[in-house]
Amino acid sequence: MLTAVPSEGYQFYRWSGDIDANAAGNATIHVVMDKARSITADFVAPGGLYTITVNASPSLGGTATITTSFGSFNTSGNESSVSIQYPSGTAVNLSATAAAGYSFDGWKGDVTSSQGNVSFFVDSSKTITAEFSAPSSFQWGWAVGGVAALLLVVLLIVRFMSGRAKKPDDILPM
């Protein structure tokens, strides 16, 4: 059993290293010593924790991931948002991955960028949104219309070249 006891003026943040991630926020943990382990108790000064909230919009458009030395967390499926507390000075990398049929448009909010990967150091609480978009129905309409027109032209050429079409009414049977 390990218990983290902070010095005066500090607070326990989390355990890092060779431990169960689900227990990382508990000041007291139980560790089975079935192998060599390296475990660190992380402390921060009071008020030194900031919340980083990352959203994916729309949630089906893709996944937004927060990666730090403390671990990696992401939005997925029905979870369009993830919020994690980090101490000041923590290096954070955000990455966005678009779902099939969607494209990544950029990061909006307290961090802005058109790049899929962006990094920053925690200095305050932040809310950041990965914006995704699907191809518009207008674009799909033009694509479908273009394919239909191409097929019609090919049909006209084939009927004309085969000799079956001798006058305009013979090109497209009514």
CATH number at residue 104: 2.60.40
- For residues 49 and 13, is the Cβ–Cβ distance under 8 A? yes
Q: For residue 133, what pLDDT is reported?
A: 93
Question: Is 162 found in the same domain as 118?
Answer: no
- For residues 76 and 62, is the Cβ–Cβ distance under 8 A? no
pTM: 0.58
Tell me which residue has tokens 């058109």.
114
Question: Is 66 found in the same domain as 142?
Answer: no
Q: For residue 30, what pLDDT is reported?
A: 87
Q: For residue 57, what pLDDT is reported?
A: 92
Q: How far apart are CA 116 and CA 21, in angstroms?
A: 27
Question: Is 4 found in the same domain as 56?
Answer: no
Residue ranges of the chain with per-residue pLDDT less than 50: none
Q: How far apart are CA 51 and CA 21, in angstroms?
A: 19
Q: Are strands 71-74 and 62-68 parallel, antiparallel or unpaired?
A: antiparallel
Structure tokens at 55: 């959203």
Q: For residue 24, what pLDDT is reported?
A: 78
Question: Is 110 found in the same domain as 34?
Answer: no
Q: How far apart are CA 54 and CA 107, in angstroms?
A: 10
User: What total number of domains does the chain contain?
Assistant: 3
Question: Is 33 found in the same domain as 5?
Answer: yes
Question: Is 125 found in the same domain as 73?
Answer: yes
Question: Is 63 found in the same domain as 76?
Answer: yes
Domain of 39 in residue numbering reads as 1-45
Question: Is 38 found in the same domain as 54?
Answer: no
Question: Is 120 found in the same domain as 71?
Answer: yes
Question: Is 62 found in the same domain as 1?
Answer: no
Q: For residue 111, what pLDDT is reported?
A: 96
Question: What values do phi and psi take at 35, rounded to 5?
Answer: -165, 170
Question: Is 39 found in the same domain as 51?
Answer: no
Q: Are strands 126-133 and 49-57 parallel, antiparallel or unpaired?
A: parallel
Q: For residue 69, what pLDDT is reported?
A: 83
Question: Is 130 found in the same domain as 55?
Answer: yes
